[in-house]
Amino acid sequence: MTQVLKRVFYYIMLALSFCSRALHNRNLTMRLAMAAYRSQGVVFCGMPRYIHPDAYLDGSGGLYIGERVVVSTKVIVLTHDYSVNVRQMANPTLFCIDNLPKEDAGIFESVRIGDWSFLGAGCIVLPGSTIGKYCIIGAGAVVKGNIPDYSVVAGNPAKIIKRTC
């Protein structure tokens, strides 16, 4: 029952956050959004500049968002990977019986987004990634791994194309 209540709280707070945009009070909007995401396990290490209501932030494996981060529309940040289970279910003979994960097991890896970073529209950040400070992630980029501070990345897979310093 607790999970259901957390999910209801999440959707109510996101709806309030979206509606508060009409008041032109970014501080209120971000505080409501932060309350929603905190209920799902996201840890904020400061006040974000902006999180679009369309963004999907998965806090199940540990998501840490720094100060003044901008998260654009349709951004997906994942901290879990259940593809291991899909492969196992599709062909269980590929795996040794002794090493099979539990049915509901998945891979959980934390994601860190550094201070003053910008995540462009539609980018995807995969589990285990770290985005440094003052980074720009281009629209549609797929990020896996470590992105150093002051980097501009784009593409699938994301590659460093410039520096911001």
CB atoms within 10 A of CB 21: 13
Token pair recorded at residue 97: 């019986």
For residue 119, what are the β-bridge partners? 71, 137
Least confident of 35-49, 98-112, 115-129: 98-112
Average pLDDT, stretch 31-43?
93
Least confident of 20-29, 99-108, 118-127: 99-108
Pairing of strands 151-154, 136-137: parallel
What is the spatial distance between Cα 72 and Cα 69, in angstroms, rounded to a whole number? 10
Average pLDDT, stretch 10-21?
91
What is the spatial distance between Cα 150 and Cα 165, in angstroms, rounded to a whole number? 6
What is the spatial distance between Cα 94 and Cα 30, in angstroms, rounded to a whole number? 46
Q: What is the mean pLDDT of the chain?
A: 88
- Please name the helix (run of DSSP H) or strand (run of DSSP E) that holds residue 34, with its range, or none: helix 26-38
**pLDDT category, 97, cuts 50, 70, 90?**
very low
Q: What is the pLDDT of residue 130?
A: 96
Token pair recorded at residue 65: 């968002």
Which amino acid does the sequence have at 42? V
Per the omega criterion (within 30 degrees of 0), is the bond before 53 cis?
Answer: no
For residue 163, what are the β-bridge partners? 151
Q: What is the pLDDT of residue 53?
A: 87
Task: Using alpha carbons, list the distances in angstroms from residue 144 to 3, 100, 141, 148.
Answer: 29, 25, 10, 12
Which residue would you say has higher pLDDT here, 97 or 144?
A: 144
Which residue would you say has higher pLDDT here, 12 or 87?
A: 12
